[in-house]
């Protein structure tokens, strides 16, 4: 431990720790626009500069390690003037159209301009002009609003291992772009939206489907059915000032009805269905010597990642569609038939924590008889906008229950929202399928938590099963490289594109605080802990679906509706 | 240049030390060289003191080639062939007097070598006829003769070392440039080459080499002026299996070409310095990061690396001492910022050339996260002689805290542009007026820009400054890499500041906000100052004044907060000119005129009614219809309509149009 002096107060710090970390812990707020926790500091924005006694210039606290006896002043006139000037310089090259911006009210640049008292346009001049890239089904890039903090570039490269975007050109000409200044749609972008999650301004945002959804709701011809992903109920509340991790399941259901959705279903139900199919597929592969390790297929960013960078592993991907697409397909087949509705009249809306789900919904493989399984995908953030637009107050709504039959889920399905959750749910069911007995729940605890790679070996019916749960695709890269080099002890891998899983998805409410992600995760595990039905195979409505329609997992019908195929995208 | 120019040992000892190097390496030479080594006259022969036939030296450095040396070379060879003259043609690097290129030197057996200037293709044959056929030295195009005690001098011809350009110089780094065949290792060895490396790895421990450098007082010649020995020591002290040595040859300052000249003219000196450095810190891999715009230098490096490898002076198990070193040439794509060490490291790693925050410093965590030393070309070129001659030899010259010599690239409005090497502490006056020959066309000296974009502009009042790291910093300039751009009275200092700001804002990497956004606004503020009122609309005038108000504040923040050296020094061109040429700024701002007459928009055109005959020619030719007047009566110019193109001045036959 070293002692440092911050604003005349003695503070303890770990040797080698960056000043900014210490300041954060001590509750001293120094602004930053480029810092990403856990990554090597880039030192790009220069907002976190502080004065250190004996040093001539200002020092970036994000990138400067503490040392014994260091005397730091965080808010001297010189530091404040520097911060303010930096924000003024950014404003001088910013479109200044906050009123029209999707980030109006939650923009970090806007907040800092307010906080630092920017009240006049001190610097003026030519602004950079760029075209807006709307080519991607998931992400809109508006380089005019970009402040070049570089966080998107670093997340894309260092967390996701994709590097779809990078800096181009130099000096004031610099901007961020996919290769050859092409659209994101033809780039290696996997649509995960982690770039949006870290973007401090409106330069990156989701491709919004609000218009399509409201039009469908207002169209009397359409039966508009909404499904919501497992993690949405524990994150939506944050958009309305509730504390992170608060489950708003019932209230959200009530809100859906007020918004005019005709049916409210739960994607966690089809997550149970996915487990049935996926566990069966795993058992089948193990028994028949199929391609192993099998890899999960519910995360569409990961799927594109494999198709693009590791097509040699396409055979390892589970052929199961994701829960979103399974439910879409079942609604437009089984449910439509049962209810006597023409499938083309159904408009399926999915509320997802994810921008890649928008891409997934558009995949031609997902269509049945020319009809897409899911017609529109909204992110959690878009749903919040819809609720606000309708003037609903989540705090005054009375909770309501979902519609049957696809509103009933086991808590295993709910676990799809966290990294390790799919694996845990699948093991519960696979164990039952292999042994006829229920798995002791506590045995698979090592799969929980926010670690990027979690591995676990388990004995099931005399078979030594090695499993891994990975999140953040740079971690997936590591594991795939090991497997390429001949690693054989892993049989089943769950991959979630976003670090920590869907709870930290690219469509979730903005949060730069890791504690919030932990709170969301905790909420899902608490729901599971307190649940009565905790395994997918014991979900009565799943059993009914098989009895009435699909017969059994991996049946002809389920292959037709619930399974898909992939294609190499490697050039 | 005399081979034993350092003169710390007797002629005989010196020759013996050169022969000793040949002796150590003799087994590895090709047969024809080994045969030559048998001769008792091996040194005089290789040094071309003992000739059997004439030698014609053509300066084919980039500056020479630019002036037409390629054609001269071709014609010379053709001439020898046509006339069946047995003579050698040697391509040498730049001797420094770039303004006089193409330089051709001719040496006849037993006679001293004579240098001629501006021998373009059309003059080559006459020169060769005169010297080789008729043994007559033409006085036109003559520079002088080299001094050589053992050879017969030409009568009544000045010695090059008495030439005003060369006399005040102390040529250590440039000793061989323009003298030797740069890509023949035997010539380098015959002039003392590789004694340093051999001494270092066979007689000295690594800490001793570092200590020797530290004692010499050698400081980084790339700009910062950090003690080289200390840098090496830090990297040596950092534990690590793999360490790297990088030579920074990404010379990017406008008006700087020192590194290019050294690599083109004496590449072995760099390779030897690099090998000593790598040995000192324990690096087995070295990179030379060189701009791709230096193709000749790259060619020379490739060839010299090949030769050094053949002799076991590079590669595996150097001189059988268990020291390995591979040198990799990495071409830079032309970004100025890649001269910044952390950006350079990123670039070598295959990443975008953007600086990283320091600490960690490269000597602790550099290339691929390993301890790395980055030295500039000139720094490394100083190393071999420091080791061979000892630190005391080096630090005997210079000022208290700046030892040795410094190479400067003289350019701009100066009579003798070129490359000069002077002892630290030489006055600006000596460099500009004695060596450089003063200002072109008898104009007044106004300023000299030192240290590239990060440096500053100095004025006539600074001419007595004894140039070293400290003295320059004191007056707001910096040593930088050693570019000196000389300006005369016809230069506008606001325009100069604008030029450098434009350079910097284009070359900023774009990573940190103050540098990226701040420099472009600074440039715009300068541009507004030089814009005419007539081109302003709306709130432009207000913005112009606001910009001036905040110029200082903006400069301060950029200096205070930028990530790397480029950004931290980015406002210098403005701050420096503002400090010494404030009146000129004020003339632009308050009087809206440019005293030097450079900023065209601020020129005022008037017609002298006394001289104007009313011929209407100006009015007819004015593209802006800004000239009014009836025929045969004096015309006048409507200032608000005038666009300052100057057409009226050109067409007026009575010199009636005045420009202020």
Which residues in A lie closer than 8 A to residue B562 (C-beta atoms)? 46
pLDDT tens figures, B211-228: 999 999 999 998 788 999
Nearest to B257 by CA among B401, B101, B115: B101
pLDDT tens figures, B46-75: 999 999 999 999 999 999 999 999 999 999
Query: Do residues A66 and A161 both lie within one domain?
Result: no
The CATH number for A300's domain is 3.40.50.1780
Instruction: Compute the distance between CA of residue B102 and CA of residue B127 in angstroms, rounded to an integer.
Output: 13
The answer to the question of residue A379 being in a domain is yes
Residue from the list B352, B524, B568 with its beta carbon closest to the beta carbon of A167:
B352
pLDDT band at A56 (very low <50, low <70, confident <90, very high): confident
Query: b/e for A16-42, b at 16 or more Cβ within 10 A?
Result: eebbbbbbbeeebebbbbbbbeeeebb
Write out the residue limits of the CATH 3.40.50.11540 domain(s) in chain B. 185-395
Query: Do residues A506 and A455 both lie within one domain?
Result: yes
Neighbouring residues of A282: CB distance < 8 A, sequence distance ≥ 6? A294, A318, A426, A430, A491, A492
- Is any Cβ of chain B less than 8 angstroms from the Cβ of A39? no
Which residues in B lie closer than 8 A to residue A60 (C-beta atoms)? 357, 561, 563
Query: Do residues A365 and A468 both lie within one domain?
Result: yes
B336: nearest CA partner in chain A? A170
- Is any Cβ of chain B less than 8 angstroms from the Cβ of A170? yes
Instruction: Compute the distance between CA of residue B383 and CA of residue B403 in angstroms, rounded to an integer.
Output: 13
pLDDT of res. B7: 62
Residue from the list A63, A126, A167 with its beta carbon closest to the beta carbon of B524:
A126
pLDDT band at B193 (very low <50, low <70, confident <90, very high): very high
Which residues in B lie closer than 8 A to residue A124 (C-beta atoms)? 543, 546
Task: Provide the percentage of residues in chain A whose pLDDT is more than 70.
Answer: 100
Residue from the list A62, A125, A171 with its beta carbon closest to the beta carbon of B516:
A171
**What is the distance in angstroms between the Cα of A116 and the nearest Cα belonging to chain B?**
15
3.90.330.10, 3.40.50.11540, 3.10.180.10, 3.40.50.150: which CATH number matches B185-395? 3.40.50.11540
The answer to the question of residue A443 being in a domain is yes
Residue range B241-265: mean pLDDT, rounded: 94
Beta strand pairing status for A453-460 and A463-471? Answer: antiparallel
Instruction: Compute the distance between CA of residue A109 and CA of residue A147 in angstroms, rounded to an integer.
Output: 9
Omega before B360 cis (within 30°)? yes
Domain of residue A452, residue span: 221-562
The answer to the question of residue A571 being in a domain is no
A18: nearest CA partner in chain B? B359
Q: Label residue B184 exposed, middle or buried (CB < 10 Å: 0-12, 13-18, 19+).
A: middle
Query: Do residues A355 and A389 both lie within one domain?
Result: yes
Are residues A417 and A353 in contact, defined by beta-carbon separation less than 8 angstroms? yes
Instruction: Compute the distance between CA of residue A167 and CA of residue A149 in angstroms, rounded to an integer.
Output: 10
pLDDT of res. B4: 61
- Is any Cβ of chain B less than 8 angstroms from the Cβ of A45? yes
* Inter-chain residue contact A43 with B357, CB threshold 8 Å: yes
pLDDT of res. A327: 97
> Which residues of A belong to the active site?
278, 281, 298, 318, 357, 360, 365, 502
B520: nearest CA partner in chain A? A172
Nearest to B334 by CA among B289, B271, B286, B381: B289
The answer to the question of residue A550 being in a domain is yes
Chain B from 621 to 660: CB within 8 A of any A CB: none
Instruction: Look at residue B201 and give its three-state secondary structure.
Output: helix
- CA A273 to mean position of chain CA atoms: 21
The torsion angles phi and psi of B332, rounded to 5 degrees, stand at: -85, 150
Are residues B371 and B363 in contact, defined by beta-carbon separation less than 8 angstroms? yes
CATH topology of domain B604-659: Alpha-Beta Plaits (3.30.70)
Predicted confidence (pLDDT) at residue A559 exceeds the cutoff of 90: yes
Write out the residue limits of the CATH 3.40.30.10 domain(s) in chain B. 47-159
Count of CB atoms situated within 10 Å of the CB of B340: 28
pLDDT tens figures, B430-483: 999 999 999 999 999 999 999 888 888 999 999 999 999 999 988 888 888 889
Q: Mean pLDDT score of chain B, rounded to an integer?
A: 93
The answer to the question of residue A83 being in a domain is no
Query: Do residues A267 and A328 both lie within one domain?
Result: yes
pLDDT of res. B557: 96
The CATH number for A96's domain is 3.30.70.20
pLDDT tens figures, B111-130: 999 999 999 999 999 999 99
For residues B8 and B33, the model is more confident at B33
Write out the residue limits of the CATH 3.10.20.600 domain(s) in chain B. 405-481
Residue from the list B512, B518, B543 with its beta carbon closest to the beta carbon of A124:
B543
CA dihedral sign, ordered A405, A411, A412, A418? positive
3-state secondary structure A148-208: CCCHHHHHHHHHCCCCCEEEECCHHHCEEEEHHHCCHHHCCCCCCCHHHHHCCCCCEEECC
pLDDT of res. A374: 97
Question: What class is the B405-481 domain?
Answer: alpha beta
- Is any Cβ of chain B less than 8 angstroms from the Cβ of A172? yes
Write out the residue limits of the CATH 3.30.70.20 domain(s) in chain B. 604-659
pLDDT band at B3 (very low <50, low <70, confident <90, very high): low
Report the CATH superfamily, name and number, of domain B47-159. Answer: Glutaredoxin (3.40.30.10)
Which H or E run contains A346? strand A346-352
The answer to the question of residue A82 being in a domain is no
Which of the residues B357, B364, B527 would you substitute to probe the A interface, choosing the one with the greatest number of A C-beta atoms within 10 Å? B357
- Is any Cβ of chain A less than 8 angstroms from the Cβ of B538? no
* Inter-chain residue contact B357 with A64, CB threshold 8 Å: yes
Choose the weakest-confidence range: A134-143, A499-508, B36-45, B309-318: B36-45
Among A182, A206, A230, give the residue marking a domain's end. Answer: A206
pLDDT tens figures, B543-570: 899 999 999 999 999 999 999 999 999 9
**What is the distance in angstroms between the Cα of A29 and the nearest Cα belonging to chain B?**
18
- Is any Cβ of chain A less than 8 angstroms from the Cβ of B531? no
Query: Do residues A126 and A6 both lie within one domain?
Result: no
Count of CB atoms situated within 10 Å of the CB of B76: 23
The CATH number for A55's domain is 3.10.20.740
* Inter-chain residue contact B561 with A49, CB threshold 8 Å: yes
pTM for this entry: 0.92
Choose the weakest-confidence range: A176-180, A494-498, A552-556, B455-459: B455-459
* Inter-chain residue contact A46 with B561, CB threshold 8 Å: yes
Among A27, A47, A75, give the residue marking a domain's end. Answer: A75
Query: Do residues A290 and A439 both lie within one domain?
Result: yes
- Is any Cβ of chain A less than 8 angstroms from the Cβ of B527? no
pLDDT tens figures, A372-410: 999 999 999 999 999 999 999 888 899 999 998 898 999
Structure tokens at A451: 């670690």
pLDDT tens figures, B133-192: 999 999 889 999 999 888 999 999 999 999 999 999 999 999 999 999 999 999 999 999
Tally of domains within chain A:
3
B286: which strand partners? B245, B327
pLDDT tens figures, A258-282: 999 999 999 999 999 999 999 999 9
Residue range A465-475: mean pLDDT, rounded: 95
* Inter-chain residue contact A41 with B357, CB threshold 8 Å: yes
Query: Do residues A159 and A230 both lie within one domain?
Result: no
- Is any Cβ of chain A less than 8 angstroms from the Cβ of B239? no
For helices B513-529 and B540-561, what crossing angle results, to 10°?
140
The torsion angles phi and psi of B93, rounded to 5 degrees, stand at: -80, -160
Query: Do residues A195 and A225 both lie within one domain?
Result: no
Which residues in B lie closer than 8 A to residue A126 (C-beta atoms)? 520, 524
Are residues A223 and A345 in contact, defined by beta-carbon separation less than 8 angstroms? yes
H helix runs in B56-172, sequence order: 62-67, 69-82, 121-128
pLDDT tens figures, A80-129: 999 999 999 999 999 989 999 999 999 999 999 999 999 999 999 999 99
Among A75, A105, A135, give the residue marking a domain's end. Answer: A75
Question: What class is the B494-589 domain?
Answer: mainly alpha
* Inter-chain residue contact A57 with B560, CB threshold 8 Å: yes
Q: Label residue B5 exposed, middle or buried (CB < 10 Å: 0-12, 13-18, 19+).
A: middle
The answer to the question of residue A214 being in a domain is no
Residue from the list B510, B550, B562 with its beta carbon closest to the beta carbon of A170:
B510
Query: Do residues A316 and A414 both lie within one domain?
Result: yes
* Inter-chain residue contact B568 with A57, CB threshold 8 Å: yes
- Is any Cβ of chain A less than 8 angstroms from the Cβ of B559? yes
Task: Provide the percentage of residues in chain B whose pLDDT is more than 90.
Answer: 84
pLDDT tens figures, B339-366: 999 999 999 999 999 999 999 999 999 9
* Inter-chain residue contact A78 with B559, CB threshold 8 Å: no
Residue range A479-495: mean pLDDT, rounded: 95
Residue B26 DSSP code:
G
Query: Do residues A444 and A500 both lie within one domain?
Result: yes
Query: Do residues A237 and A128 both lie within one domain?
Result: no
Range list of β-strands (E), B535-626:
605-607
The answer to the question of residue A81 being in a domain is no
């Amino acid at each position: 431990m070293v002692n440092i002096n911050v604003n005349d107060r003695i503070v303890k710090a770990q040797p080698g720790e960056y000043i900014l970390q210490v300041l954060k812990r001590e509750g001293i707020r120094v602004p930053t626009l480029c810092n990403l926790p856990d990554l090597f500091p880039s030192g790009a924005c220069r907002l976190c500069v502080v004065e250190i006694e004996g040093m001539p210039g200002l020092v970036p606290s994000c990138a400067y390690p503490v040392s014994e006896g260091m005397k730091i002043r965080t808010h001297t006139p010189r530091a404040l003037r520097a911060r303010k000037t930096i924000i003024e310089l950014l404003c001088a090259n910013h479109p200044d159209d906050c009123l029209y911006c999707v980030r109006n009210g939650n923009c970090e640049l806007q907040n800092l301009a307010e906080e630092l008292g920017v009240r006049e346009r001190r610097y003026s001049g030519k602004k950079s002009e760029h075209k807006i890239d709307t080519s991607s089904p998931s992400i809109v890039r508006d380089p005019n609003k970009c402040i070049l903090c570089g966080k998107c570039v670093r997340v894309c490269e260092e967390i996701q291992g994709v590097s779809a975007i990078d800096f181009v050109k130099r000096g004031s000409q610099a901007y961020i772009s996919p290769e050859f200044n092409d659209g994101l749609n033809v780039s290696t972008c996997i649509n995960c939206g982690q770039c949006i999650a870290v973007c401090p301004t409106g330069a990156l945002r989701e491709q919004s489907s609000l218009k399509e959804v409201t039009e469908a709701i207002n169209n009397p011809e359409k039966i508009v059915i909404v499904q919501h992903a497992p993690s949405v109920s524990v994150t939506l509340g944050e958009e309305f000032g509730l504390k992170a991790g608060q489950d708003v399941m019932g209230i959200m259901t009530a809100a859906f009805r007020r918004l005019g959705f005709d049916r409210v279903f739960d994607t966690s139900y089809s997550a149970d269905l996915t487990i049935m199919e996926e566990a069966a597929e795993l058992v089948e592969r193990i028994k028949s010597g199929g391609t192993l390790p099998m890899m999960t297929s519910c995360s569409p960013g990961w799927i594109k990642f494999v198709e693009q960078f590791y097509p040699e592993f396409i055979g390892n991907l589970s052929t199961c569609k994701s829960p979103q697409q399974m439910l879409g397909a079942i609604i437009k087949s089984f449910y439509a038939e049962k209810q006597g509705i023409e499938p083309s009249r159904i408009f399926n809306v999915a509320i997802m924590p994810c921008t890649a789900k928008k891409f997934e919904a558009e995949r031609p493989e997902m269509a049945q008889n020319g009809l897409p399984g899911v017609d529109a995908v909204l992110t959690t953030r878009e749903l919040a906008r819809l609720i606000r637009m309708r003037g609903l107050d989540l705090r005054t709504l009375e909770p309501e229950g979902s519609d049957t039959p696809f509103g009933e889920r086991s808590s295993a399905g709910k676990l799809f929202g966290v990294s390790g959750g799919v694996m845990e749910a699948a093991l519960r069911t696979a164990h039952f399928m292999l042994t006829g007995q229920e798995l002791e729940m506590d045995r698979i605890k090592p799969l929980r938590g926010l670690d990027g790679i979690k591995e676990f070996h388990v004995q099931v019916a005399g078979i030594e099963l090695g499993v891994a749960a990975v999140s953040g695709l740079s971690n997936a890269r590591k594991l795939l490289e090991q497997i390429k080099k001949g690693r054989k002890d892993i049989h089943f891998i769950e991959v979630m594109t976003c670090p920590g899983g869907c709870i930290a998805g690219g469509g979730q409410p903005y949060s730069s605080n890791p504690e919030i992600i932990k709170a969301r995760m905790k909420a899902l595990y608490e729901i599971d802990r307190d649940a009565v039905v905790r395994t997918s195979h014991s979900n009565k409505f799943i059993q009914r679906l098989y009895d009435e329609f699909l017969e059994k997992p991996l049946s002809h019908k389920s292959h037709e509706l619930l399974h898909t195929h992939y294609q190499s995208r490697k050039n | 240049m005399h081979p034993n120019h350092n003169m710390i040992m007797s002629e005989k000892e010196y020759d013996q030390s050169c022969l000793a190097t040949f002796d150590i390496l003799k087994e590895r030479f090709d047969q024809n060289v080994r045969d030559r080594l048998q001769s008792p006259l091996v040194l005089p022969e290789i040094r071309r003191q003992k000739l059997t036939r004439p030698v014609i030296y053509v300066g084919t450095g980039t500056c020479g080639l630019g002036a037409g040396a390629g054609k001269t070379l071709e014609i010379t060879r053709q001439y020898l062939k046509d006339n069946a003259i047995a003579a050698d043609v040697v391509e040498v690097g730049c001797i420094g007097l770039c303004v006089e290129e193409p330089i051709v030197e001719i040496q006849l057996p037993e006679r001293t070598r004579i240098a001629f200037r501006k021998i373009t293709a059309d003059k080559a044959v006459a020169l060769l006829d005169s010297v080789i056929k008729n043994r007559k030295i033409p006085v036109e195009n003559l520079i002088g003769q080299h001094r050589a005690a053992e050879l017969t001098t030409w009568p009544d011809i000045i010695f090059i070392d008495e030439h005003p350009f060369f006399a005040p110089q102390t040529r250590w780094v440039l000793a061989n440039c323009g003298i030797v065949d740069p890509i023949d290792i035997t010539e380098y060895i015959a002039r003392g080459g590789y004694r340093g490396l051999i001494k270092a790895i066979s007689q000295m421990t690594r800490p001793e080499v570092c200590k020797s450098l530290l004692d010499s007082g050698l400081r980084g010649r790339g700009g910062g002026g950090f003690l080289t020995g200390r840098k090496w020591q830090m990297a040596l002290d950092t534990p690590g299996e793999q360490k790297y040595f990088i030579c920074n040859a990404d010379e990017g300052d406008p008006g700087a070409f020192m590194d290019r000249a050294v690599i083109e003219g004496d590449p072995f000196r760099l390779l030897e310095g690099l090998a000593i450095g790598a040995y000192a810190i324990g690096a087995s891999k070295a990179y030379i990061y060189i701009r791709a715009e230096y193709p000749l230098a790259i060619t020379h490096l490739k060839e010299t690396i090949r030769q050094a490898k053949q002799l076991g002076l590079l590669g595996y198990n150097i001189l059988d001492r268990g020291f390995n070193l591979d040198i990799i040439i990495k071409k830079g794509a032309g970004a100025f910022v890649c001269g910044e060490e952390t950006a350079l490291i990123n670039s070598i790693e295959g990443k975008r050339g953007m600086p990283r925050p320091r600490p960690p410093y490269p000597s602790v965590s550099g290339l691929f996260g390993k301890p790395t030393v980055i030295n500039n070309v000139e720094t490394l070129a100083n190393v071999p002689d420091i080791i061979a001659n000892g630190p005391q030899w080096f630090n005997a010259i210079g000022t208290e805290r700046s030892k040795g010599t410094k190479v400067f690239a003289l350019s701009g409005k100066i009579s003798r542009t070129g490359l000069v090497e002077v002892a630290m502490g030489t006055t600006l006056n000596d460099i500009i007026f004695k060596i450089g020959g003063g200002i072109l066309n008898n104009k007044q000296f106004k300023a000299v820009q030192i240290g590239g974009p990060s440096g500053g502009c100095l004025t006539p009042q600074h001419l007595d400054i004894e140039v070293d790291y400290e003295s320059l910093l004191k007056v707001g300039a910096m040593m930088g890499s050693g570019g000196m751009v000389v300006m005369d009275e016809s230069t506008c200092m606001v325009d100069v500041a604008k030029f450098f700001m434009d350079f910097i804002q284009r070359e900023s990497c774009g990573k940190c906000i103050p540098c990226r956004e701040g420099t472009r606004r600074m440039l715009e503020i300068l541009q507004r100052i030089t814009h005419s009122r007539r081109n302003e609309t709306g709130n432009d005038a207000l913005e112009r004044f606001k910009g001036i108000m905040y110029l200082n504040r903006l400069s301060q923040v950029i200096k205070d907060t930028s990530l790397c050296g480029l950004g931290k020094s980015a406002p210098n061109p403005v701050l420096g000119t503002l400090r010494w040429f404030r009146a000129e700024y004020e003339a632009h701002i308050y009087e809206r005129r440019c005293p030097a007459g450079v900023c065209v928009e601020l020129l005022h055109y008037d017609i002298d009614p006394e001289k104007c005959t009313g011929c209407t020619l100006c009015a007819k030719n004015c593209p802006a219809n800004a000239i009014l007047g009836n025929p045969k009566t004096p015309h006048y110019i409507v200032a608000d309509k005038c666009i300052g193109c100057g057409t009226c001045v050109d067409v007026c036959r009575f010199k009636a149009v005045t420009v202020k």
